[in-house]
Amino acid sequence: VTGVWSIVVAGGSGRRFGRRKQFSLLGGRPVLEWAVEACRPVSSGVVLVVPAEGSSASSESHGADVVVAGGPSRSESVRRGLDAVPADAVVVLVHDAARPLASASVFDAVVDAVTRGGVDGAVPGLAVADTVKTVTEVDGVRRVAATLDRRTLVVVQTPQAFRADVLRRAHREGAESGIEATDDATLVEAIGGSVCVVPGDPGNFKITTPDDLRAAEERLPAAGAG
């Protein structure tokens, strides 16, 4: 696909991302290599953002075209990745390095939604199976404030696809206003951009625990596991 670049984010503060989870071995290869490889079919190029401290790790490309050092936050890491994306890229994908099992169809769906036009971004979303409530803390006790209508809720994943110009502007303005966003779509929404939701993939979970790693191991495609 011409003009589509991907940013795989393995950097960040490590508060949320277990620092080493993306380097854990899955089917004999680091988790992040699977994430980079998953981007390949739809990408002209892939930028990998690695933790700034992991200089030994960053000396390897892990299959990416460009490797850059991340910043102190997830958003800052994506910004550094964006700086390495060629100026003529039309669509930019952002993908978590800790999601090695994203399917080709999820990549196709978000890229298609953005290239078709009418939206600035597309994210994979899953229905919420559990009851979700909002809480407020009163005198040290957490009380239920409201129960949300779960039919209107989605849990979002990566890859997330965006018009390159809109994502660049969203990150520029997000940096200026200091928004702490947990995904890139939030920054695009904050500047008034439109983001659509395509069906997510339950198998595209984020590796955050040893249990997740074992579950991922069982789901590896046979060809890649050797």
- Applying CB under 8 A, does 105 fall inside the site for a copy of itself? no
* Residue of 189, 191, 213, 224 interacting with a copy of itself (CB under 8 A): 189
Q: Which of 111, 82, 100 is nearest to 7 (CA)?
A: 82
CB of 198 to a copy of itself, least distance (A): 8
Task: With beta carbons less than 8 A apart as the criterion, state whether 207 and 102 touch.
Answer: no
153 binds a copy of itself (CB under 8 A): yes
Where does this chain touch a copy of itself (CB under 8 A) — which range of 32-40, 64-72, 85-93, 184-192? 184-192
Cβ of residue 45: shortest distance to a copy of itself, in angstroms?
Answer: 26
Contact pick of 2, 56, 59, 152 for a copy of itself (by CB under 8 A): 152
User: Tokens 């390159």 appear where?
Assistant: 164
Q: Provide the token pair at 223.
A: 């060809």
Rounded to the nearest whole angstrom, what is the least distance from the CB of residue 137 to a copy of itself in the complex? 9
Residue type, 112: D
The answer to whether residue 220 forms part of the interface with a copy of itself (CB under 8 A) is no
CB nearer to a copy of itself: give 130 or 176.
Answer: 130
Check residue 208 for interaction with a copy of itself (CB under 8 A): yes
**Three-state secondary structure call for residue 79:** helix
Whether the upstream peptide bond of residue 159 has omega within 30° of 0, thus cis, is: yes
101 binds a copy of itself (CB under 8 A): no
- Asked if 162 and 114 count as a contact pair (C-beta separation under 8 A), the reply is yes
Cα–Cα distance, 194 to 64 (Å, whole number) = 29
Q: Is 141 in the site for a copy of itself (CB under 8 A)?
A: yes
How is residue 173 annotated by DSSP? H
Tokens 């910043």 locate to 71
Residues 23-82 close enough to bind a copy of itself by CB under 8 A? none
* Least Å from the CB of residue 92 to a copy of itself: 18
Look at the block and give the residue holding tokens 């790790």: 57
Determine how β-strand 29-30 pairs with β-strand 25-26: antiparallel
Interface characters, 121-140, with a copy of itself (x: CB under 8 A): --x-x--xxxxxxxxx----
- Residue 185 and residue 182: Cα distance in Å, rounded? 9
Amino acid at residue number 79: R
Q: Give the residues lining the site for a copy of itself (CB under 8 A).
A: 16, 118-119, 123, 125, 128-136, 141-148, 150, 152-157, 181-183, 185-186, 189, 194-197, 206, 208, 211, 215
